[in-house]
Amino acid sequence: MRTAQRRACSALGVRPDLVPGPAEAWGWQGRTYGRPVTASDGRAWLRLAGSLTDQINATFWNGSLEAEKSLPPSIPRPRLRDVHDWTEGSWSYRAELYDYEPERLVSATPTLTTAPDLPPAWWTNLATALTDITTVPTDRLSVHQPFLDRAMPRYLGTPITTEAPSWSTAHGDLHFANLCAPTLRILDWEGWGLAPTSYDAAVLHSHSLLAPAVAARVRHELAHILDTPAGRHAELVVITQLLHTGRDLDLLAALRSRAAHLLSRPLLQK
């Protein structure tokens, strides 16, 4: 990926940034790579994705580009300036050049274990942004109903209605490692699309469960989203997904406890 990064820099007319700060950021399983660069008009952020050409997931591959075309300016995010695509043998690469984001990440990891200091305006702006996201028309999918039909009864341990009360557009991965503060910015739009209504708030809450004060704050600030039939269903959807992946072992017990609360009965371990 670093070799591909040098080609991307040349194609986009930028150079690696030597100013002190975050040097580089790797995505899940090394699938993406990002770092600050210097463009003709100042700092920018270069994001590079690579995949075997015959294994490209079009939803994720095109997500950032489609987000730039579809999302309104009211949704706070770094703007995508330019894109460069190329192939080398059986591999495809996409380089995306963004405005540089000076705000800090709320968390270095998706799951919170300590409470960040977030100002009231941050929460207000988040609630507004979540509402604005839901209104964006799209036929992209962040969540797939056939998976819910299979996984929800299995991981929740009970027959359950898997159909959501409604669906709306979501960021799709709204945890604290994709949010900046003290001024709100929302990063990483590759997986946005339709999901059960209230999905983003449910993702944020589920990733807050190891920091009870933050989880309580999420429930308070987003009560109009979470404290609804759609919100409770969305929480069970997200809990199912996280139990299915099982990537964060420390979070599993808290997820089961929350599911038991929502279902009003203990959750059998799977």
- % residues pLDDT > 70 (the chain): 96
Q: Which of 46, 69, 99 is the last residue of a domain?
A: 99
Name the helix (H) or strand (E) containing 125: helix 120-134
Q: Does some domain include residue 6?
A: yes
Residue 193 has pLDDT above 90, yes or no: yes
Regarding whether 115 and 128 lie in a shared domain, the answer is: yes
Mean pLDDT of the chain: 93
Q: What's the mean pLDDT in 145-166?
A: 96
Kindly tell me if the per-residue pLDDT of 178 is higher than 70: yes
Residue 176, token pair as written in the block: 């604290």
Q: Which of 101, 105, 61, 106 is nearest to 81 (CA)?
A: 101
Looking at residue 45, its pLDDT comes to 95
pLDDT higher than threshold 70 for residue 63: yes
pLDDT band at 52 (very low <50, low <70, confident <90, very high): very high
What is the per-residue burial (b if ≥16 Cβ within 10 Å, else e) of 145-184? eeebeebbeebbbeeeebebeebbbbbbbbbbbbbbbeeb
Domain closes at, from 45, 73, 99: 99
- Report yes or no on 269 lying in a domain: no
pLDDT (mean) for 198-224: 98
Q: Say if residue 8's pLDDT is above 60.
A: yes
Cα separation of the two ends of the chain: 37
Distance set, CA 161 to CA 139, 165, 193, 200, 259 (Å): 23, 10, 22, 20, 14
For residue 19, the model assigns a pLDDT of 60
Map tokens 């540089």 to a residue.
100
Q: In which element (H, E) is residue 152 found? A: helix 145-156
Pick the residue with more confidence: 115 or 2? 115
Evaluate whether residue 56 is within a structural domain.
yes
- Single out the residue in 53, 81, 99 at which a domain terminates: 99
CB 40 within 8 A of CB 13: yes
Helix (H, G, I), strand (E, B) or coil at 213: helix
Q: Are residues 234 and 131 in the same domain?
A: yes
Residues whose CB is less than 8 angstroms from the CB of residue 246 and which lie 6 or more positions away in sequence, other chains included: 252
Do the Cβ atoms of 207 and 174 come closer than 8 Å? no
Kindly report, residue by residue over 215-265, the tens digit of the pLDDT: 999 999 999 999 999 999 999 999 999 999 988 899 999 999 999 999 986
> Do 149 and 78 share a structural domain?
no
Q: How many CB atoms lie within 10 A of CB 54?
A: 7
Which residue range is the domain that position 25 belongs to? 2-99
pLDDT at 31 over 90: no
Residue 40 has pLDDT above 70, yes or no: yes
pLDDT for res 20: 54
Could you give the CA distance from residue 40 to residue 14 in angstroms, rounded to a whole number?
Answer: 7
In percent, the amount of the chain with pLDDT more than 90 equals: 86
CA distance 11 to 85: 10
Give residue 185's pLDDT.
98
- What pTM did the predictor assign? 0.93
Same domain membership, residue 108 and residue 92: no
| Total of domains in the chain | 2
Q: Looking at the structure, tell me whether residues 196 and 240 fall in a common domain.
A: yes
Q: Confidence class of residue 44 from pLDDT cuts 50, 70 and 90?
A: very high
> Does the structure show a pLDDT above 70 at 268?
no
Query: CA 249, CA 252: separation in Å to the nearest integer?
Result: 5
Show the tokens assigned to 43: 């700092």
Over its C-alpha atoms, the chain yields an Rg (Å, rounded) of: 19
Q: Is 270 a member of any domain?
A: no
Q: 66-115 pLDDT, tens per residue?
A: 999 999 999 999 999 999 999 999 999 999 999 999 999 999 999 999 99
